[in-house]
Amino acid sequence: MLKIVVVGGGAGGLELVSKLSKKLGKKGLAEITLVDKNRTHVWKPLLHEVAAGVIDKNSDGVDYRIHAARFGYQFQLGTMIDINHQHKSITLDPIYDDEGDLLLDKREIEYDYLVLAIGSVSNDFGTPGVAQHSIFLDSLQQAERFHKALLNQLLKINQQHYPQTKLKVAIVGGGATGTELAAELHHVANLAKHYGMPQMSADRLEVSIIEAGQRILPALPERIANSARSALAKLGVNVMENTRVASAEKGAFITAQEQKIEADLMVWAAGVKAPDFIQELEIFETNKAQQILVKPTLQSTACDDIFVIGDCCGFKQEDGSWVPPRAQSAHQMADLAATNLINIVADKPLKTYRYIDYGSLVHLSRYSTIGSLMGSLTSSSMFIEGRLARLVYISLYNLHQFAIHGWFKGILVLLSRKVSNLVGSKLKLH
């Protein structure tokens, strides 16, 4: 039977295996295997909320093994470290337990078709000191690390009786992640006083967003950036535009103008690149962001039997721009890769990919949601704000839930999330 291996069960990969399992796996037309280095899937756009502690990975995560059992595919826990494209196999790193004892040795998995959906990592552009001193928000582990550090700092500030002592947070990168995190932290600082930290409030929080470009949200229309800037200003967030960070040291970012921005918590969210090991494989053609170049069918330019989707995929559009690394791109690519793999099994011609920009939304916690809709479906985009924008923002997450669970279970999952939000704590304290 045809073996299809998908590496990476994120926004794109998990939607893809759900579809392939339904259309091929359950009909006995192909054997589907998902490989991921984590045991649990959390939709990446929620990571800043995990970091701030307003959602819990236990109620919002999907256990791959349970999902695999339901959809009838195989799940292999492990980190892919190599691809042998001549022998059509991938290698997974050994797995050790918490005591350092070997659990699973290095393994090889064979494929007929491989799909790479391994996402992206933060790009520190080689800025000295950044990797050592700041926190990235690339994975659940990193988001949880930030959350622990945040709780510790909240406890510390709460004990200081001088109101002028503030918790300082510096976020490099004024994209969606940086701006959304800043607003979420403001909300959390106010929540903390209801959870045994009576001295804490947003008045004792000092958040700076440091953006090298001319304005925050550089990838979005200017009107959205202006609206977000004034919403952040109302929250007291210090937005520093045209400010490039040249280095980082313990407790501070240093700008190119040698300004020292001190911080108790330092976050780097200034752009992404595909994981470094892709280059080391020496198989693929890549672009500046290390993304793997693909043909219009989403097959890599190096090997027809390797498809690439999501953030690690370098897809050049007709106007010369690259498809942006977004959840909606990963979703659309997962759809097309599924269609093409189904067509391969059915001996039908492959389809080509076209990115449709349905717009972008920035959700500034409970304070504001701003965005544009239908970017390239109409000649101009429609600006939306407030409740309508919030509704559309939530529907993106809902659509992902329906894609990975099906409609019925998806609705149940969303309802159970609502109930757990109602009865549970508004702030995760562990």
Ligand X SMILES: Cc1cc2nc3c(=O)[nH]c(=O)nc-3n(C[C@H](O)[C@H](O)[C@H](O)COP(=O)(O)OP(=O)(O)OC[C@H]3O[C@@H](n4cnc5c(N)ncnc54)[C@H](O)[C@@H]3O)c2cc1C
Whose Cβ is closer to ligand X: residue 38's or residue 199's?
A: 38
Give me the long-range contacts of 154-160 (CB less than 8 A, separation at least 24). 154/188, 154/189, 154/192, 154/197, 154/200, 155/197, 157/199, 157/200, 157/204, 158/192, 158/197, 158/198, 158/199, 158/200, 159/199, 160/199
User: Measured between alpha carbons, how far is 106 from 79 in angstroms, rounded to an integer?
Assistant: 10
Smallest distance, ligand X to C-beta of residue 13, A:
5
Cα separation, 207 vs 232, in Å, equals 10
Nearest residue relative to ligand X (C-beta): 10
Work out how close the CB of 140 gets to ligand X at its nearest, in angstroms, rounded to a whole number: 8
**Is 298 or 327 the residue whose CB approaches ligand X more closely?**
327
For residues 16 and 24, which CB has a smaller minimum distance to ligand X in the complex? 16
Q: Closest CB to ligand X among 25 and 175?
A: 175
Q: At its nearest, how many Å lie between ligand X and the CB of residue 256? A: 25
What does each C-alpha distance from 161 to 165, 187, 201, 427 come to in angstroms?
Answer: 8, 21, 13, 23
Q: How far is the CB of 76 from ligand X (least distance, A)?
A: 9
Rounded CA-CA distance 145/11 in Å is 21
Q: Are 261 and 252 in contact (CB under 8 A)?
A: yes
Strand partners of residue 171:
209, 267
> Cβ 8 to ligand X, closest distance in Å?
3
Residues in contact with ligand X by the rule CB under 6 A: 7-13, 35-38, 44-45, 47-48, 79-80, 117-119, 137, 176-177, 275, 310-311, 325-328, 330
Opening angle at CA 56, ends 396 and 418, nearest 5:
60
Residue 204 or 400 having the CB closest to ligand X: 400
Question: What DSSP state is assigned to residue 296?
Answer: T
Please give the DSSP secondary-structure letter assigned to residue 38. Answer: S
Q: Shortest Cβ distance from residue 207 to ligand X (Å)?
A: 15
Round to whole Å and give the CA distance between 270 and 175.
Answer: 7
Shorter beta-carbon distance to ligand X: residue 350 or 364: 364
CB of 321 to ligand X, least distance (A): 16
Instruction: Give me the least distance between CB of 71 and ligand X, in Å please.
Output: 16
Residues 264 and 173 sit within 8 Å (Cβ to Cβ):
no
Query: CB neighbours of 304 closer than 8 A, spacing ≥ 6?
Result: none
If residue 4 lies in a helix (H) or strand (E), which one and from where to where? strand 2-7
Phi/psi for 154 (5° steps) reads -65, -40
Would you say 177 or 227 has its CB closer to ligand X?
177
Residue closer to ligand X (CB basis): 106 or 260? 106
